[in-house]
Amino acid sequence: MADLASEFLGIRSPNPFWLASAPPTDKAYNVNRAFEAGWGGAVWKTLGEDPHIVNVSGPRYAAIHSNDRRVIGFNNIELITDRPLQTNLDEIRQVKRDWPDRALVVSVMFPMNEAVWQKYVPMIEDTGADGIELNFGCPHGMSERGMGSAVGQVPEYIKMATEWAKAAATVPVIVKLTPNVASILPPAKAAKDGGADAVSLINTINSIMRVNYDTLTMYPATDGMGTHGGYCGEAVKPIALNMVAEIARTPETAGFPISGIGGVTDWRDAVDFLALGASNVQVCTAAMVYGFKIIDDLTDGLSNFLDDKGMKSVSELVGRAVPSVTDWQYLNLNYVEKAVINQELCIKCGRCHVVCEDTSHQAITHTVDGKRRFEVIDEECVGCNLCVSVCPVESCITMRRLTDGFDPRTGQPISGEKADWTMHPNNPMRKSS
């Protein structure tokens, strides 16, 4: 059995699954329940200055559903903790005492004022918490007050506030990044330059869920008015994975520890984050949508996966896929794939045909010898993977690499040589060979 035990910045936890700083970690009651369920750690919901903020007493959350009401995307306008600072500190101290083997990190959000950081960081550390996470990510509410993503969008502020936190803290400091930026690299570099021990990402994405079709006003609304919230859940995972991989594969930031966040719902999502460079993962929406019990599948599924791969620990998985991520310009243009439809598995829905017909390259038949039959026309297939993506039957359509002969589409011989855009004759900027 693979060992799921995790060590992140020296913070130990029995597994790499932490609850992210969010509504499920706002109180000792919830965090105790999470630890009882088996969660490896928790990042306590963001603390701020006293007097504590207030929340709306109307809808804070909204979801994008599939037709059978599974939550695919989720949005919130909840602010940081709305309880007195001392109440939180007392509970954090007690929880850490009761659960010494679990990771307990405290999320914080303070204004751009060094004195405030100097005052509060030691109070937080005094609880016995294992680390501090700087919330430079929340895009709603607090950002209007110059905090959250308002900091995270300005690399200079990130560096400055990180320096203040590091100056006041002895425990590890994690900087939580906002995805609401053009590139994640400048904020990540700023955190590193400021002395942060790690970054965690992503926080939520600016979003409006929809309108109310009866009133034609924004939904959800508080007394007829709405405001943008932070988007999360399964739907945001690809955005998060890209940002994690960017940090992991860029020389200036490569090797900088990453806590991966964004849509982790089952163990496969965790494999994605870990393989693309995160050392552990944080989970919020899945716990909010299904309850803490999902930890069982996360740990069990990951453990079985590692066993199947012959890996003894999570660390063997971390970063495994990073070398496979590159820029478009370095992709091998001599590589040729064709779709292949397994006629035994085909249920003859014709989706592959119609999408190829309307979107792509008219490369799939609908009738062969007068019978309803869907076959790939190699002379037209560009290997785009659209048919694979829409086919309702798993593994019915696969991609096959051509290794010799000619590409029936272009008439060009299949070459074993790699040739990318940087050397392509059509590229006016090509490097001379």
Helix residue ranges per DSSP H, 73-184: 85-98, 114-125, 149-152, 155-168
63 binds another protein (CB under 8 A): no
66 binds another protein (CB under 8 A): yes
H/E element holding 352? helix 351-358
* Nearer residue to another protein within complex by CB, 69 or 431: 69
Q: How far is CA 82 from CA 26, 154, 176, 300, in A?
A: 9, 26, 20, 35
The mark string for 320-359 relative to another protein (x by CB under 8 A, - otherwise) is: ---------------------------xxxxx-xx-----
CA dist., res. 302 & res. 319, Å (int): 15
* Nearer residue to another protein within complex by CB, 338 or 351: 351
Q: How far is CA 33 from CA 13, 15, 104, 147, in A?
A: 16, 16, 14, 30
The mark string for 69-108 relative to another protein (x by CB under 8 A, - otherwise) is: x---------------------------------------
CA dist., res. 223 & res. 21, Å (int): 28
* Nearer residue to another protein within complex by CB, 23 or 350: 350
Q: How far is CA 261 from CA 155, 254, 426, in A?
A: 20, 18, 40
* Nearer residue to another protein within complex by CB, 344 or 404: 344
Size of site (CB under 8 A) for another protein: 15
Q: Least CB distance from residue 222 to another protein, whole Å?
A: 25
Q: Based on the residue annotation, tell me whether 352 is a catalytic residue of this protein.
A: no
CA dihedral of 77, 80, 84, 86, whole degrees rounded to 10: 160
DSSP at 319: T
68 binds another protein (CB under 8 A): yes
* Nearer residue to another protein within complex by CB, 66 or 432: 66
Segment interacting with another protein (CB under 8 A) among 48-56, 64-72, 219-227, 301-309: 64-72
Q: Least CB distance from residue 69 to another protein, whole Å?
A: 8
Residue selected from 1, 51, 54, 67 as contacting another protein according to rule CB under 8 A: 67
The mark string for 377-406 relative to another protein (x by CB under 8 A, - otherwise) is: ---------------xx-------------
Q: Least CB distance from residue 345 to another protein, whole Å?
A: 9
The angle formed by the CA atoms of residues 235, 241 and 243, to the nearest 5 degrees, is 115
Which 163-222 positions form the footprint of another protein (CB under 8 A)?
none
CA dist., res. 338 & res. 380, Å (int): 9
Q: Are 258 and 304 in contact (CB under 8 A)?
A: no
421: tokens are 């855009």
Q: Least CB distance from residue 268 to another protein, whole Å?
A: 22
399: tokens are 């991609």
Q: Are 231 and 73 in contact (CB under 8 A)?
A: yes
The mark string for 21-60 relative to another protein (x by CB under 8 A, - otherwise) is: ----------------------------------------
Q: Least CB distance from residue 233 to another protein, whole Å?
A: 19
Name 423's Cβ contacts closer than 8 Å, sequence gap at least 6: 430, 431, 433
Name 283's Cβ contacts closer than 8 Å, sequence gap at least 6: 17, 18, 19, 20, 261, 264, 265, 294, 298
Residue selected from 313, 366, 399, 423 as contacting another protein according to rule CB under 8 A: 366
Q: Least CB distance from residue 350 to another protein, whole Å?
A: 3
Classify 283 as helix, strand or coil. strand
Q: Least CB distance from residue 200 to another protein, whole Å?
A: 35
Residues classed as catalytic: 138
Residues forming contacts to another protein in the complex (CB under 8 A) are: 66-69, 347-351, 353-354, 366, 372, 392-393
